[in-house]
Amino acid sequence: MRAIPLTVTALAAALALTACDDGNAGNAGASGKNSSACEVGKVSVQVGSASVAPAAGDTGEVPVSITNQSAPCTLDGFAGVTLKAGGTSATLATLSGAKSEKLKLAKGDSATFSISYVRGKDGDKASLAATSVTVSLPGSDATESFPWKYGPVAGKGSADKPNATVGAFQQAGD
């Protein structure tokens, strides 16, 4: 009678360990079972339509949507976002307290993140008169640029330190 509880305990332990296995132990991605990082060019990226900050000092939100167009891929971390104005480029920080979650996107799946910004004063030296925004995805160096149509971005003391942040990815749709 004592053998049955030990067998059940051993089986339960084996199942628990199997549940923690990602199917890729010691293989570093060679199995092909795990999806790779999502890349600009293999996903479509759309910027807007935004909740534009109407006046200097107001806060605006610019949503960015990513839709997978190919094989399953993973978003693990935060998007890289750079605002550009003439010869000035400013990389945005992540939203304080935001936590990234690993998202797996099958073909056709979507995710979003938001760029939050404080509108600056037109012509102010401490505002970045951004004309474009460049987006990259975590784990990939590929980028895509889009027009920035949401007004100048207030600086934190100077134009090259914009008062703007990048939020975490969230699964979109069902």
Q: Residue 111: inside a domain, yes or no?
A: yes
Count of the separate structural domains present in the chain: 1
Asked if residue 49 has a cis previous peptide bond (ω within 30° of 0), the answer is yes
Whether 54 maps to a domain, the answer reads: yes
Task: State the CATH number of the domain containing residue 128.
Answer: 2.60.40
15 assigned to some structural domain: no
Q: In this structure, which long-range contacts are made by residues 9-16, counting pairs with CB atoms below 8 Å and at least 24 apart in sequence?
A: none
Q: Which residue segment(s) compose the domain that 160 sits in?
A: 35-172
Q: Is residue 13 part of a domain?
A: no
pLDDT digits (tens, 9 = 90+) for 16-53: 333 333 333 333 333 344 569 999 999 999 998 889 99
pLDDT in tens, 95-121: 999 999 999 999 999 999 999 999 999
Give the count of beta carbons closer than 10 Å to the beta carbon of residue 77: 16
Which DSSP state fits 32?
A: S
User: Considering the domain boundaries, does residue 6 fall inside one?
Assistant: no
In a domain, 8, yes or no: no
Contact criterion met (CB below 8 Å) for 118 and 95:
no
pLDDT for position 35: 62
For range 54-70, the mean pLDDT: 95
User: Is 151 within the bounds of a domain?
Assistant: yes
Which backbone phi and psi does 5 adopt, to 5 degrees? -60, -35
The predicted pLDDT at position 106 comes to: 96
How far is the C-alpha of 115 from the C-alpha of 100, rounded, in Å?
A: 15
**23 lies in some domain:** no
